Structure 1
C-alpha cells in the first residue's frame, strides 16, 4: 500500500472527475509544475492506485433507457460450472456487468435495454436460457447518483 498525501488525494479527486486532464492542466489546478504533476501521476500508476482511464457512455443517449439489476441464483452448482455460466452470460451484449457475489444470489448482473419490452425479451430469450439458471430477481434502476468514493470531496 502506498502512502498518499493531500496532493496525491487532490490528484485522484481531479482525475476521478475528469480522467482526461493533462499533467499541465492538473499542475496548474493544484499549484504544481507540469513535470511534478506528471511524476506524481506516474508514481500513482506504478503503485497500482491509478489502474487506467475510462469513458463513461450515456446509455440513454444510445437508446438504452432501462437499466435492470438481476440477482441470479444457479439451480444446481454441481451440474453447471461457474465458468460455463460466466462465459455464456458475458457473451450477451446487453449484460454490462457480471459480479460473482456471496449471499442470497450467486451472481449480480447489470443489464441495459431499450425499454421494458426489450428487457423482457432479453430476460426470456437470453438470460433464462443460460446454463444452470435457477431463480432470478429483477430490480429496475430508477435513478443513479455518482458517489465520491473513499477519497471524499475536495474541501471548499
Structure 2
C-alpha cells in the first residue's frame, strides 16, 4: 500500500457516495487506475466490504442499549450457544466479545421504553448461560467515525 492507495481510501472514507470519476480526480489518478487499485485493495484484504448504513432512528427506533454480559463458562459451549441465540434477536444490531470481566456486549435497539421492556424480558433474559448482565442506555454519540488516519 502506497501514498496513492492511502489518498484513495482517505477520500473514499470522507465521502463514500462520491462517484468513482470524482474520487479518481480527487485522488489524482485515472478512473482505470482507481478501479485497478480498489480491486487490488479488495484482493489483499484491505477493503473487506462496501456497506449501506441505515439510520435506525429514521425507522422509528428511539432507544439504543448496550448490554454487557458475563457468561457462566462452566459449559464449554457457553459462548457459541449465547452468540447463536443472540444472533436470532432482531433488535440486536451488534455483538462483540471481549477478554476480561465482560465476555460479550450486545447493542440492542427499541422503538420506546415499552418495546425495550418487551425485548429485554422476552428475548434477552432467556438467552443461555447468562451469569451477569449490565445495561447502559445510550444518551448521545459524540464521535462515530470509521476512518483511519491515512
TM-score surpassing 0.5? yes
Go from structure 1 to structure 2 and tell me whether the alpha carbon gap of 1:95 and 1:77 turns closer, same or farther (over 3 Å shift). Answer: farther
Report the equivalent of 2:144: 146
What TM-score, normalized to structure 2?
0.89
What TM-score, normalized to structure 1?
0.86
For residues 79 and 138 of structure 1, the distance between their equivalents in structure 2, rounded to whole angstroms, comes to 25
Deviation at 1:17, TM superposition (A): 3.1
Deviation at 1:38, TM superposition (A): 1.1
Deviation at 1:129, TM superposition (A): 0.9
SS class of match (1:151): coil
Structure 1, unaligned runs of 5 or more: none
For residues 73 and 39 of structure 2, the distance between their equivalents in structure 1, rounded to whole angstroms, comes to 47
Structure 2, unaligned runs of 5 or more: none
Deviation at 1:33, TM superposition (A): 0.9
Residue 71 of structure 2 contacts residue 78 of structure 2 at CA under 8 Å; is this kept in 1?
Answer: no
SS class of match (2:49): coil
Report the equivalent of 1:121: 118
Q: CA RMSD for the aligned pairs?
A: 1.8
Q: How many residues align?
A: 149
